Structure 1
Amino acid sequence: MQIRDLPYADPGVPDARSGPRFLLWLGRNQLGGQLRSLTWGLVTFLSISTLPYLVGFAVQAVVDRSGVRLALTGGLTALCGIAIATGDTMLHRTAITNWITAAARVQQLLARRTAHLGSALTRRVAAGEVVAVSTGDVEKIGWFVEALSRFTAAALTVVAICAGLLVYQPALGVVVAIGVPVLALSVLPLLPRAARRAEQQRTKAGRATELASDTVAGLRVLRGIGGEQLFLDRYRRASQEVRRAAVRSARMWSLISMVQVLLPGALLIAVVWYGVHLAREGRITVGELVTVYSAVTLLNFPLRHFEEIAMAYSFSRPSARRAARVLSLERPTDAGGSRAAAPGSRTAAPPGGDLFDPATGLLVPAGRLTAVVCGDPDAAGRLAERLGGHAPSDTSPGAPKTSSARLGEVPLDELPLATARTAVLVQDKDPVLLSGTLGELFDVPASGAVTAEQALTAAQCSDVLDALLQGAPDSTDPMRSHITERGRSLSGGQRQRLALARSLVTDPEVLVLDEPTSAVDSHTEARIADGLRSLRTGRTTVVFTSSPLLLDRADRVVLVHDGKVCATGTHRELLATETAYRSVVTREPDGGESHAAAGTDERGPHAATSGLHTTAGPPGPPDALPDSRTPDELQDIEETA
């Protein structure tokens, strides 16, 4: 595999049972590159290890005044120099190729797993951890895969040098053969502590990354409530913890480096002292002493690779363990038989019919707009994901296993992943907008029945288009205007409406929306409710909300309490008959036993709903402001939200 051939057509199925098994699997899949790197490494290191013998022969030739032997030695030295230059160049090329291709394979595997898991990934692994695995951990894994072949070449070279010295000069060769293993194994007692400190540094860095990501994502809100400095101080403390952990880790690795310098120096002194003693006794020649001295000096070069492989493995083992953990994650429905469609395979037609959740008893009739009221926002989110086939209703340890949601008569966990996602689309309460143009945002798999213009109109995005055009004065087409990363240049309400429009464009069989208008003012929310009802006529739509404006326009409203459906009807019927429903919708602990809550306001039937909406929350949110606000005031409110 060459760099120009990336990305892989198929990165393979990894062995994610453990970190070492994952590293072994990577090595096996790059066996060709490893062998090439090993070959060029042997050419380089063996050529270098030959130089001491040539130097010894040259010195002895000078002592014996032999010009022929001196010329021959010079020619062989030139050949070794050419071999070293060629081998080192090709070793560097093959090593970097191994590094990049290994890192690319891991990144492709992580990207494929992330796409497969969807929103379930960040519920199982922290977002900062995912970022750290996809960046720093990938590099460390690639480093170990690349260093493995060079280490093997260095180890074989060390064995060859020791064997050659034993044959060439047995008296000094025995000293070297005994001392080299001691040098190679001397750092082993220090490695566990170094690995622990490196792991602590990596953990603290992951936490700091997660904190930074959360702070940047909520910067607009933090500025609005005056909490920016508080979070900056938290990140400063986290970064200082990372710095201290890095210093402690560096101290240990510097100690290992010191040992790798000190002990070879001690071996060299011992060899010289003993060699001089042998030379005085006439047991060795001057040339032999120079040869052994040069060989021991050059041993430091391959021995450095022992330190590098120890460091690479210490860093890559926890990185591989974390990567294997992410790669081993499965969607909760995978255990029930759901399989991802193979690349290039045709997606089966999605089933139709009513959507039913056996765990809660929630029934969503086909072709109707159903609103679901749930007092616990987290429970509402879990139920929304369950309706999309992404998560079970209860993931707590020891919870009883329940059957999945069904679309028609087909359980969602028995559908291929691609088919399930085509059948049911879930938009969570915090949708993500990727950077790019507006046209690229709407370039998603869709039925084609709903155009981008229709979706934007239904989601009330006219002011969003105007804002995007103002930010791109050289363009007259809003679909070519640029959206920054996560839509940070837009207000919370604008991002929410664009995400809603994107969901509407896909025109799925079933659309599940979790609080789609929580950051939108009441006037815009009323228009969105009308547009949603009009555009989704004849299609199954589920909206999790407690907004009376949306509830009043739903065909059917379902109250879910304590994980079970406890009431069904229209918004006005439930207001009049269900105390728990009134408590959730009006935020009144006593259930809102007022004429307005009962729909008998003296101002007329529509005034009752409007009155409820102005009391749905503590003083200050956008929905509680009077209808006389100017468009500029409404825009400021959305940006603050």
Structure 2
Amino acid sequence: MSLRLVPFADPGVPDTRSGLRLILWLEHQQLRGQLAALGWGLLFFGGIAASPVAVGLAVQAVIDKSWSKLALAVLLLLAFGAAKAAADSFFHRAVVTNWISTASRLQQLLMRKAAELGSLLTRRIAAGEVVAVSSGDVEKIGWFVEVLGRFAAALLTCFAVVIGLLFYEPQLGLVVAIAVPVLAFSIVPLMGPAERRADAQRAKGGRATELAADTVAGLRVLRGIGGEQLFLDRYRSASQEYRQSAVHSARMWSLIAALQVLLFGVFLVVVVWFGIRLVVAGRISVGELVTTYGFITFMLVPLHTFEETASAFIFSKVSARRAARVLSLQRMDDTRGTGVAQVPEGDLFDPASGLEVPAGSFTAVVCGNPDAGGRLADHLGGHSPEAEPDDVSALLDGVALDDLPLESARTAVLVQDKDPVLLSGTVRDLFDVPSSGAVTAEQALEASQCADILEVLRQSLPAGGTTDPMQAILTERGRSLSGGQRQRIALARSLYVDPAVLVLDEPTSAVDAHTEARIADGLRALRAGRTTVVFTSSPLMLDRADRVVFVPDGRVAAVGAHHELVHTDRAYRAVVTREDEPLEEMA
């Protein structure tokens, strides 16, 4: 597998039934790379393992004063060293390629899942957890795939050395054949506690990351209410808990490493003592003892690899469980999304709530509860996270959105969340998205009342350079802008796309009344003849809608014009005007 193929054109469909199955699936995807690592690894470890033969031959040649044997030993040592040196680079390249390829494949799968679920992803799993999975967990899973190639090569080489010792010196070989499996499996009883500690460490690390992400995202609000210190103390506490769990886990792995060194040292002392007795008895030569000692010291290399493999497996198993959890999230049943890839146009209807939006209308929806409004907006866009097989999604021109392929559903209906994300880059880059081509970026910005924002961005450009505000840089998530400015820029992007149905969830909640009124007029004019749904409780926006639908408890309760509902529906009036008392009837 060449790194030139990364990112993959198609990362595949992962097996997410469990963390272990996900790891096995990733291993299978990297089979060719693992075979390459195994081949170069055998040559690399073989060069190291065979060197004691040349060293023992050289020692015995000096004792026997045989120059021909010494020359042969030197040639063998050079040959083994050359094989090791040649294989080293290719072996390292192969295992690192496996690591990077696996991590890249997994990150592509996670990004694909994030694009499929949209804002529903962070409603099902905390944003900090998603960040932890796509960074640290991906690295740990890739680490296990990488180390598995080294493990297979070390295991086969170790097996070959033990077999060779049994033929070369049967008595010492028998001791080694018994001792090596004991040393390799001596850490097995400690793997269970190590896994539990690793699981606890991962959970606390995810919690700390989640808290940090939430704190950074709400930093502006925290400063406004003086809550920075409170959240700083919370993060400090979570960070200390994570540190303590990491130390607790590291102690277990220190014990495992110390046990390996201790047992191997005892084993080496026993073998040397036994070998010296054989030399004194005249049953083996000094050169054979040196060769045997070299073989045994080589065993330390695969034993360290076995220990690393066990460590990588435990950490990757914990990480894979969380990655599988994210990748297993579905927005629909497997039987859905198989309809024709044709984008329908017509009335939008939600059977669950009874909400009906006539084609080409500007419809405002009042829910009273912002969270309920957000869920209904998602449902109108076909973003339902846990749809049952017999559930009916929103219908567009009588066609269920869940029956459309994902790409067609997203083309038909665009949902702008109440907290839209602005990626870093220039303002022009913000409009580098698929669109109908009927609306220009300038028209969308004008309708969203972004003239003052463009002027501020123009002034931020370096002196002597371009004066085009579209080339100004927006920082990550638009943090250099105020909340109202971010809303207007995001609205302009949505208007530029010009979808068949545009669903806006509280698009002007952070905008002043004067600007909001102009946005409402601009939105109505630019979307004339196109279906637009706005979830809002602002009288300024409601007054400009063709029709208003009141959905207080998940079901449509009233439909009409804003000024009619204010005077005829007390519950609607309480939500919109924040009043409980009825207004005096107008003359």
Asked if 1:417 is matched to 2:406, the reply is yes
1:502 is aligned to 2:461 = no
Match in the other structure for 1:247: 247
Counterpart of 1:559 (choices 547, 550, 566) is 550
Let me know the Cα RMSD of the aligned residues.
Answer: 1.7
For the residues of structure 2 that align with 1:207 and 1:367, how far apart are their CA atoms?
46
**8 Å CA contact retained: 1:336, 1:413:** no
Counterpart amino acid of residue 365 in structure 1: P
Matched, 1:437 2:426: yes
Alignment pair present for 1:128 and 2:128? yes
Task: Check the 8 A contact 1:559/1:568 in 2, yes or no.
Answer: yes
2:281 maps to 1:281: yes
In 2, Cα distance between equivalents of 1:45 and 1:335: 47
Partner residue, 2:375: 382
Q: In 2, are the aligned partners of 1:371 and 1:542 still within 8 Å (CA)?
A: yes
Q: What per-residue deviation string (whole Å, max 9, x for no partner) do you get for residues 541-596 of structure 1?
A: 111111111111111111112211111111111111111101111112x2x3233x
Counterpart-to-counterpart distance in 1, 2:92 and 2:471: 44
In the alignment, what sits opposite 2:442? 453
- Letter of the 1:338 counterpart: G
- The structure whose RCO (Cα within 8 Å, separation 6+) is larger is 2
Amino acid paired to 2:25 = W
Aligned residue identity for 2:352: A
Query: What letter matches 1:422 in structure 2?
Result: T
Whole-angstrom distance in 2 between the partners of 1:409 and 1:467: 46
CA distance in 1, matches of 2:419, 2:586: 33
Please give the per-residue CA displacement for 1:299-334, whole angstroms capped at 9, x wherever unaligned: 1112111011101111111222222222222213x4
The aligned residue for residue 176 of structure 2 is 176
- Asked if 1:477 corresponds to 2:430, the answer is no
Post-superposition Cα deviations, 1:427-460, rounded to whole Å, max 9, x if no partner, equal 1111111111111111221111111111111111
**Structure 1 partner of 2:559:** 568
CA distance in 2: counterparts of 1:356 and 1:59, whole angstroms: 89
- What does 1:36-435 correspond to in 2, within 5 Å? 36-332=36-332, 334-335=333-334, 337-339=336-338, 348-391=341-384, 402-435=391-424
Q: Report the secondary structure of 1:212's partner residue.
A: helix
Q: Is contact 2:198-2:318 (8 Å) kept?
A: no
Unpaired runs of 5+ residues, structure 2, are none
8 Å contact from structure 2 (residues 567, 583) kept in 1: no
Give the AA of the match of 2:378: E
Deviation at 1:74, TM superposition (A): 1.3
Q: Determine if contact 1:369/1:556 at 8 Å carries over to the other structure.
A: yes
Which residue identity does 1:580 align to in structure 2?
Answer: A
CA displacement at 1:336 relative to structure 2: 5.1
What is the alpha-carbon distance in structure 2 between the residues aligned to residue 455 and residue 51 of structure 1? Answer: 73
TM-aligned CA deviation for residue 339 of structure 1: 4.5
| CA displacement 1:177-218 (0-9 Å, x = unmatched) | 111110000011111111211121111111111111111111
Counterpart-to-counterpart distance in 2, 1:513 and 1:545: 9
The question of whether the paired residues in 2 share the 8 Å contact of 1:43 and 1:84 is answered with yes
What's the CA shift for 1:120?
2.0
- Secondary structure in 1 aligned to 2:551? strand
Q: Is contact 1:339-1:417 (8 Å) kept?
A: no
Partner of 1:34: 34
Give, in angstroms, the shift of residue 400 of structure 1: 10
Question: Match of 2:362, as an amino acid?
Answer: L
8 Å CA contact retained: 1:45, 1:153:
yes
- Specify whether residues 573 and 400 from structure 1 end up closer, same or farther in structure 2 by C-alpha distance, changes over 3 A only: farther
**Shift in Å, 1:23:** 1.6
Distance 1:82 1:498, change over 3 A: same
Partner of 1:594: 583
Check conservation: 1:99, 1:142, Cα contact below 8 A.
Answer: yes
- Distance in 1 of aligned mates of 2:31 and 2:389: 46
How high is the TM-score relative to the length of structure 2? 0.97
Cα distance in 1 for partners of 2:147, 2:380 equals 48
**Partner Cα separation in structure 1 for residue 453 and residue 175 of structure 2:** 79
Q: Could you tell me which amino acid in structure 2 is paired with residue 76 of structure 1? A: L
Could you tell me how far apart the structure 2 residues matched to 1:323 and 1:299 are?
A: 35
Q: Which one-letter code corresponds to 1:381 in the other structure?
A: G
531, 539, 546: which one aligns with 1:540: 531
Cα distance change, pair 538–295 in 1 and its aligned pair in 2 (3 A): same
Q: Distance in 2 between matches of 1:320 and 1:214?
A: 24
Q: CA deviation at 1:599?
A: 5.2
* 1:367/1:540 contact within 8 Å kept: yes
Post-superposition offset of 1:141: 1.3
What do the CA deviations read for 1:259-305 (whole angstroms, capped 9, x no partner)? Answer: 11111100001111112222222222222222222211121112111
CA distance in 1, matches of 2:27, 2:554: 48
> Quick check: 1:466 aligned with 2:455?
yes
Q: For 1:88 and 1:452, how far apart are their aligned partners in 2?
A: 55
Checking the alignment, whether the CA contact within 8 Å between 2:33 and 2:98 is kept in structure 1 is yes
Stretch moving more, 51-60 or 448-457: 51-60
Shift of 1:386: 0.6
Which of 537, 541, 550 matches 1:550?
541
Per-residue CA deviations over 1:134-190 (Å, capped at 9, x if unaligned) read: 111111111111111111110111111111111111111111111111000001111
| Residues 400, 56 of structure 1: alpha-carbon distance in 2 compared, 3 angstrom cutoff | closer
Counterpart secondary structure, 2:534: strand
CA–CA separation in structure 1 for the residues paired with 2:437 and 2:508: 25
**Residues 468-503 of structure 1, C-alpha deviations (whole Å, 9 max, x = no match):** 112214331111111100000000000001111111
Distance 1:432 1:569 in 2: 33
CA contact under 8 A between 1:143 and 1:312: conserved in structure 2? yes
Q: State the AA in 1 paired with 2:401.
A: L
Q: 1:116 to 1:74 in 2, by over 3 A?
A: same
SS in 2 for 1:276: helix
SS in 1 for 2:265: helix
Name the SS of the counterpart of 1:164 in structure 2.
helix
Residues 475, 481 of structure 1: 8 Å contact kept: no
Distance change (3 Å), C-alpha of 1:548 and 1:254: same
Q: State how far apart, in whole Å, the 1-side matches of 2:26 and 2:583 are.
A: 68
Q: Point out the more displaced range, 288-297 or 277-286.
A: 277-286
Residue type of the partner of 1:451?
Answer: T
Q: Distance in 1 between matches of 2:6 and 2:403?
A: 34
Q: TM-score, normalised to structure 1's length? A: 0.89
Distance 1:94-1:599 versus aligned 2 partners, 3 A rule: farther
- Equivalent position SS for 1:543: strand
Q: Secondary structure at the match of 1:431?
A: coil
What's the offset of the Cα at 1:10? 1.7
Determine if contact 1:351/1:423 at 8 Å carries over to the other structure.
yes
> Residue type of the partner of 1:578?
D
Q: How far off is 1:464 after superposition? A: 0.9
